[in-house]
Structure 1
Amino acid sequence: MPVQSSVDTTLAEIERRVLWLSTAIVHHANRVRPSVSGLKVGGHQASSASIASIMTSLWFRHLGPDDRVSVKPHASPVLHAINYLLGELDERYLTTLREFGGLQSYPSRAKDPDPVDYATGSVGIGATAPIWGALARRYLASRAPGVGTGRQYSLLGDAELDEGACWEAILDPQIAELGEVVWIVDVNRQSLDRVVPNLVAHRLQGMFTAAGWQVITLKYGRLLTELFERPGGADLRDRIDTMPNPEYQRLIRCDADELRRRLPSGSESIAALIADLDDTTLVAAIRNLGGHDLEALDEAYSAIDDTRPTVVLAYTIKGHGLPTAGHPQNHSALLTAEQYAELADALGTDVDAPWATFAPDSAAAMLCAEAAKRLRRQDFPQAPAFPVPTDIGRTPAGTGTTQQALGRTLLDLTRAAPEVAGRIVTVCPDVSSSTNLGGWVNKVGVWAATERPDWFADDGETILHWREKPTGQHVELGIAETNLVGLIGELGATWSRWGQPLLPIGVLYDPFVQRALEPWSFGMYAGGQSILIGTPSGVTLAPEGGAHQSITTPSIGLEQPGCVSYEPAFAIDTEWTLLASLAALGKPDGHSAYLRLSTRPVDQTLAAVPTDPAARERRRRQVVAGAYPLRRHENPKVTIATMGAMVPEALAAADRLAEQGVGADVVCVTSPGLLFAANQARLGRAEGPSWILDQVFPADRATPLVTVLDGHPHTLAFLATIRRVPSIPLGVSGFGQSGDLADVYRYHGIDTDSVVAAALDLLH
């Protein structure tokens, strides 16, 4: 066998310590720290052991300061162990895994006390984040020099490749150009419950190759590779290559005598080959996979060519180095106290001093210090603040839609506030023209890593000009909403990574917002600040029918942390709320926003925008705060609170009620979430302003309340609690049908007749 160099010996010593620390972190949380509630704390010793070698080699031999790594969720103890050895984590945190205020269950960029590049924990989302991080860095580099050119690594388990988000990201056409993307797949052939029976590596190899990726397969270590060169070695390799995954996993659990019986499977050449091996070597050989061989890992990392994305398929054993290695139920298994003590003896550590570091003058300590110095990142100064205008000054007239107002506001910004407009980047999943972004795209161009010819530039019938260049400000993705929110999340994190804020706006069809909500939510948890715009919304796109309606999206702002939602009724409301949302991006106390827009044409004069500058500013502040009084009756008997596209029905109902001698106030709600927060603040249950409630729902105008919106009625139902008045909430709570708008509104009970009837029911 080859003799290990001193560097390899030192790295192997660090590898053993990383394995020990990651195991001890989970052990302490479950076996040592008292449990007040009696609930299982959890943690993943086997999943951590599976990837300990991969991460040790990467951090202590290959990473540079500009590189960033997404670590699979269940390997968070390994990341903390490495950060501890690098001096980036205080010892006191090693005993706090899953403790309140301590180390998080999974790597958290926002909540962990040590460096975490990407938050993970939601399957498939953390794995794909480095792809969008690479794209965000490239976009920013075309505008702000000095953001580095480091690789973006993703460490994931093979079972995570079952998640469709992985393949949606891999297959986007732009990704094949991102040579800095590297995925390292921990191929341990196990999921949470079982050994995966039909995981065939060559299938994965073919899929990645077809997507334009470099594929490096790291299957066997040096010991097995050397045995394959001996007589009978070819048969041994073929035997291991062709056996089912569960059979191989069973061999890992065998002692030498069992291996001599099971492994040959009738092959005399294999029996003769292993007959010459001592028991220790034979047991070690069957476990000698490439993902645990430091030399093989070194060669694999050195082979990455950076001209295209790379995937390293590194074969490993789940629980490698632990007594639970290879057992199909080891996913959440914890070592017993006896096993823990035996592991300490095997790794040369002490259960009574689990957090001991290397002797200061040892080779391992010096290698840790060298790695820490190499990985130290520069601090990026925060870019100077740039003011976002609050009001461009336009007063729309005629008939228009809030979707049209989106495109108009973006174009207006290029003239009124070019510095702000220059930081905006819009992203669409192949719906730019159908969401009224055509004018913006024509103005700013489409972003691409390299300039591409516009073959239709001289076509007189072409309206949407597709000029692709590194200076473009619109990114067009394929039809995959998960990719969209993944990218805007990373574009919205550049302020915290490089000190340069971008203002990302993702635009998609509102019915698909829920498909994107979970990964977008995780992006917000990780610190990404962005604007998501859903349009067209609700049932107002009546001929499209029930398949293209969004019922629950209006309540996103009530329920989603880190996000303020708006549903503007008029073009001017769209402008004001969009500007307020842009102003909230790219800073430590910032937040994301969701705008729900409509394609229903509405008479803009119904907005009754005040002409007096002070009154106009008062209206703007109310719009941004969540609601404004659209019509006040001198003697109101009922209040109609409405939102978005339903304003015409609410106003028509107020007119009808007036004809019957029933005065009605009409309140236009722009943000249920902000009103709910204001009410919580008024009750002393949250921090924040509550002035908007007194201006819109004053106590002296408290009357029975009808709420109506193009969405689920529960969204506005809480408004009745502000003044504790009787109410009837109207909205959409069932799947729709195709038809004319009047027919559809009547079907759902949100038409003018329904509003009038609800008001009269409340009064009589």
Structure 2
Amino acid sequence: MTSTTRSDTPGRDSDPAETAEWIDALEDITAAAGSERARYVLAEVQDHARLLGVTTSGLPFSAYRNTIPLTQQPAYPGDLALEERITSIMRWNALAMVMRANRDYGELGGHLASYASAAEIFEVGFNHFFRGRTDEFAGDLVYFQPHSAPGVYARAFLEGRLTEQDIENYRQEVPGHGLCSYPHPWLMPEFWQTPTGSMGIGPLSAVYQARFMRYLAARGLARTDARHVWGVFGDGEMDEPESIAGLTLAAREELDNLTFIVNCNLQRLDGPVRGNGQIIQELEALFVGAGWNVIKVLWGSEWDELFARDTEHVLLRRFAETVDGQYQKLGSEDGDYNRHKFFEADPKSAALVRHMSDAEINALKRGGHDFKKLYAAFVAARDHQGAPTVILAKTKKGYGMGGAGESRMTAHQAKKLDVDALLAFRDRFDLPLTDAAVEALAFCQPDADGPELSYLRERRAALGGFVPARTANATTRAPARPAPEAYANFALASDDKNMSTTMAAVRMLGNLLKDKHFGPRIVPIVADEARTFGMDALFRQVGIYAPEGQQYEPEDAGSIMYYKESADGQLLEEGITEAGAISSWT
């Protein structure tokens, strides 16, 4: 098994001068001809090395740093100070919502730490990328990390879409005025777009939804080319087999209308996701191997000055040597601890922070809490062509909860904070709440015409409307249903002849597909069992959807029921994946 931490550090270089010459040559090529040329040359060198029998380390991941360098980072288009203030208010309201439910009604459950780690990710999306439905545009689809649902409710409360009574009834949907624990359109049909509450179904469903949008466009049934599917998921959730089951399909069909944002807070329910490894490096290797574009957002803007002075890449070596269990410990401690345990482990890294106070070291953020770093990643993901993109955003679980939950082993199970912890939370995020309001867990509601809510409404209006939002009723007229004689005459005039239910169903389906009005609306979905059930006649009748068409001569080309693939095929042949077939259906 490939380790996700490096041991072959540059410090073991047997000929530094020669190495420097190679690096200088690469820098010259990049400066003169660009990164594409540099990548080509590196690929050629690597291929030639294989011919010479020279094997490389085979590490399938990049250095433990941000993918997008500061020099390529776009300017942030929003009001940073205002967005940070709005995010702080949402953090508080999400926390208060969960705590009030558990205070007033016993152990109802809910989660504080997940949204605390993902708040900036959500807000960059909400303020700049997640587009709503309009009369001309069907909008984007967003799959939300289920344990972060309180944060989405907190935003909808500020938007005026949910009342205080609604959020007071969090996890109490049975009476009819509550909010469901996790995203699900069955329970909130005009709010949640998609269900994600069972770990793993969100990532898989997002892949098949992005593919289905392409399918609809290929068949001329809907204009979906501008729509985008976003999914915010957890790093621990990636251990679910369904989470990664659709990755190669997404790459194979070049679904650049799909972006995953994996919230890498390094923790699952019981402890670290990879205590003795690095989950971010492992996920990068997984997604790169599957054919995805990978963008890592690991370090916030406060690190930029350190990286600029670190000409010997000392920090990269320290990052590579540090496993996630230790990162979690570092995240739970203060600047003094981080100075002694991380930076002073190497005299050169210690020198880099010698001018910094403990408070400044403590303020070195992870990239997933930095609006500017996240925005750069979102832009790059949206604009990337030819492959889906995953953003690996490093965060702290329970960010802002201090000793009550920040990077703590018990963060996921935290439902309550004591008064001192609540007051510290208020002070850390500069919330306009009195001590009495904090103790009462009062919701923070800015003035309706104040700068916070005005900005929030303006950003959503610019993006087409609120998200998530769902249309519970069809907006287009369904085609006329064929008369039974048109598709089931074999049964009506059967003369009491016996017929298996499978044969009857297949014949009915074949006849319905022939109807010129109703037939095009049918999407046959097969999990590699068409021949078993006598459905192979549909291969030629309606064709199998394949975005690249059929670039080979099928072995049975002379058969009346040959295996016909086409770019506008109607049948979805999913292969041996029942979960994938169900995802296409949903």
2:233 counterpart SS class? strand
Matched-pair contact (CA < 8 Å) for 2:147–2:182: yes
- Determine if contact 2:296/2:391 at 8 Å carries over to the other structure: yes
Residues 283/388 of structure 1: CA separation in 2 closer, same or farther (3 Å cut): same
Letter in 1 for 2:269: L
Q: Secondary structure at the match of 1:155?
A: strand
Q: Does 1:455 align with 2:553?
A: yes
The equivalent of 2:239 in structure 1 is 162
CA contact (8 A) 2:556 2:563 kept: no
Equivalent-residue separation in structure 2 for 1:231 and 1:399 (angstroms):
80
SS in 1 for 2:363: helix
The correspondence of residues 631-646 of structure 1 with structure 2, limited to 5 A, is: none
**Whole-angstrom CA distance in 1 between matches of 2:166 and 2:190:** 9
Structure 1 spans left out of the alignment, 5+ residues: 490-764
The 1:330/1:233 distance shift into structure 2, 3 A limit, reads farther
Q: Distance in 1 between matches of 2:393 and 2:575?
A: 30
| Alpha-carbon distance, 1:441 to partner | 2.2
Within-5 A mapping of 1:138-177: 138-141=214-217, 142-146=219-223, 149-172=226-249, 176-177=253-254
Q: What is the aligned counterpart of 1:61 among 119, 122, 128? A: 128
Q: CA deviation at 1:25?
A: 1.3
Q: Which residue of 1 aligns with 2:93?
A: 21
- Which deviates more from structure 2 when the two are superposed, residues 177-186 or residues 114-123? 114-123
Is it true that 1:436 corresponds to 2:512 in the alignment?
A: no
Question: Partner amino acid for 1:447?
Answer: Y
User: What code does the residue aligned with 1:424 have?
Assistant: I
Deviation at 1:144, TM superposition (A): 2.8
3-state SS, counterpart of residue 229 of structure 1: helix
Aligned counterparts of 1:148 and 1:171: Cα–Cα separation in 2? 21
Shift in Å at residue 266 of structure 1?
3.5
User: Is 2:334 aligned against 1:255?
Assistant: yes
1:10 has 2:117 as partner: no
Aligned to 1:670: none
Task: Verify: 1:121 aligned to 2:197, yes or no.
Answer: yes
TM-score (norm 2): 0.76
Q: Does 2:161 match 1:88?
A: yes
What amino acid maps onto 2:547 in structure 1? A
Contact preservation (8 Å) 1:407, 1:440 = no
User: CA separation in 1, counterparts of 2:441 and 2:557?
Assistant: 75
The whole-number CA distance in structure 2 between the counterparts of 1:157 and 1:173 is: 19
- Residue deviations 1:126-152 (CA, integer Å, cap 9, x gap): 222222222333333334334563111
Which residue among 408, 432, 457 is the counterpart of 1:349? 432
Distance apart, 1:361 and its partner CA: 4.6
Deviates more, 1:232-241 or 1:8-17: 232-241
Q: 1:407 aligns with which of 476, 495, 506?
A: 506
Identity among equivalent positions (%) equals 27
Instruction: State the alpha-carbon separation in 2 of the partners of residues 42 and 302 from structure 1.
Output: 36
Provide the residue aligned with 1:204 in structure 2.
Answer: 283
Quick one: which amino acid aligns to residue 442 of structure 2? P
Which residue of structure 2 aligns with residue 245 of structure 1? 324
Structure 2 residue aligned with 1:516: none
Q: Does 1:325 align with 2:406?
A: yes
List per-residue Cα deviations over 1:559-615 (Å, max 9, x = no partner): xxxxxxxxxxxxxxxxxxxxxxxxxxxxxxxxxxxxxxxxxxxxxxxxxxxxxxxxx
Counterpart AA for 2:432? T
User: Which among 556, 566, 572 is matched to residue 469 of structure 1?
Assistant: 566
Asked whether the 8 Å contact 1:88–1:114 carries over to 2, the reply is no
Asked if the contact 1:453–1:467 (Cα under 8 Å) also holds between the matched residues in 2, the reply is no
**Which residue, 327, 348, 352 being the options, matches 1:273?**
352
Instruction: Give the whole-Å Cα distance in 2 for the aligned partners of 1:248 and 1:174.
Output: 31
Structure 1 stretches (4+) deviating beyond 6 angstroms? 1-6, 377-380
Superposition map of 1:551-570 within 5 A: none
Cα distance in 2 for residues equivalent to 1:143 and 1:436: 28
Question: Which gives a bigger RCO, structure 1 or 2 (Cα 8 Å, sep 6+)?
Answer: 2
1:360 CA drift (Å): 4.2
* Runs of 5+ consecutive residues of structure 2 not aligned to the other structure: 1-69, 133-138
- Residue 386 (structure 1) aligned with residue 480 (structure 2): yes
One of 438, 456, 459 as aligned partner of 1:368? 456
The answer to whether 1:220 aligns with 2:299 is yes
Q: Distance in 2 between the 1:326 and 1:194 partners?
A: 10
Aligned match of 1:74: 147
Contact in 2 for aligned 1:171/1:211 (Cα 8 Å): yes
Shift of 1:180: 0.7
Q: Is the 8 A contact 1:83 1:115 kept in 2?
A: no
Q: Provide closer, same or farther for how the CA distance between residues 174 and 315 of structure 1 changes in structure 2, counting only shifts above 3 A.
A: closer
Distance 2:283 2:193 in 1: 26
Contact persistence 1:86–1:371 (CA under 8 A): no
- In structure 1, the residue matched to 2:115 is 48
Aligned partner of 2:522 in structure 1 is: 424
Instruction: Give yes or no for contact 1:103–1:113 (8 Å, CA) kept in 2.
Output: no
The separation in 1 between residues aligned to 2:265 and 2:347, in whole angstroms, is 29
Confirm or deny: 8 A CA contact 1:410 1:440 kept in the other structure.
no
Secondary structure of the corresponding residue to residue 412 of structure 2: coil
**Distance (Å, rounded) in 1 between the aligned partners of 2:418 and 2:385:** 44
- CA distance, structure 2, for counterparts of residue 253 and residue 202 of structure 1: 21
SS in 2 for 1:487: helix
C-alpha RMSD of the superposition:
2.7
1:190 Cα deviation (Å)?
A: 0.6
Residues 14 and 161 of structure 1: CA distance in aligned 2, closer, same or farther (over 3 Å): same
Change in CA separation of 1:390 and 1:91 when aligned onto 2, cut-off 3 Å = farther
2:269 alignment counterpart: 192
Change (3 A) 1:343 1:169: same
Following superposition, the deviation at residue 164 of structure 1 comes to 0.6
Structure 1 residues 189 and 176 mapped into 2: Cα distance closer, same or farther (>3 Å)? Answer: farther
Bigger CA drift: 262-271 or 427-436? 262-271
| Partners of 1:376 and 1:292 in 2: CA distance | 25
Deviation per residue, 1:480-501 (Å, 9 max, x gap)? 1111111111xxxxxxxxxxxx
Q: Distance in 2 between matches of 1:4 and 1:134?
A: 28
Secondary structure in structure 2 of the residue aligned to 1:178: coil
Q: Does 1:336 align with 2:418?
A: yes
Q: Is the 8 A contact 2:159 2:453 kept in 1?
A: no
- The count of corresponding residues between Structure 1 and Structure 2 is 480
The structure that has the greater radius of gyration is 1
| Aligned counterparts of 1:266 and 1:50: Cα–Cα separation in 2 | 28
**Separation in 1 of the partners of 2:363 and 2:549?**
53
* CA gap 1:90/1:420 in 2 versus in 1, 3 angstroms: same
- The correspondence of residues 346-745 of structure 1 with structure 2, limited to 5 A, is 346-347=428-429, 348-350=431-433, 351=438, 354-373=442-461, 374-376=463-465, 381-384=475-478, 386-390=480-484, 392-394=488-490, 395-396=493-494, 400-415=499-514, 417-453=515-551, 455-456=553-554, 459-460=557-558, 462-489=559-586
Deviations 1:522-566 (A, max 9, x none): xxxxxxxxxxxxxxxxxxxxxxxxxxxxxxxxxxxxxxxxxxxxx
1:310-337 Cα deviation digits (max 9, x unpaired):
1111111101111211011111113223
Indicate conservation of the 8 Å contact 1:183/1:312, yes or no.
Answer: yes
How far 1:463 moved relative to its partner?
Answer: 4.8
The reply to whether residue 181 of structure 1 matches residue 258 of structure 2 is yes
How far residue 219 of structure 1 moved from its aligned partner, in angstroms, is: 1.0
**1:252 aligned partner, one-letter code:** G
CA change 1:280–1:24 in 2 (3 A) is same
Quote the residue 2:366 is aligned against: 289
TM-score w.r.t. the length of structure 1 is: 0.59
**1:80·1:114 contact (CA, 8 Å) conserved in 2?**
no
Using the alignment, how far apart are the partners of 1:487 and 1:308 within structure 2? 20
SS in 1 for 2:524: strand
Structure 1 range deviating more: 376-385 or 105-114: 376-385
How far off is 1:438 after superposition? 0.9
More strand by proportion, 1 or 2?
1
SS in 1 for 2:581: helix
AA at the equivalent of 2:121: I
Distance 2:386 2:306 in 1: 34
Aligned partner of 1:577 in structure 2 is none
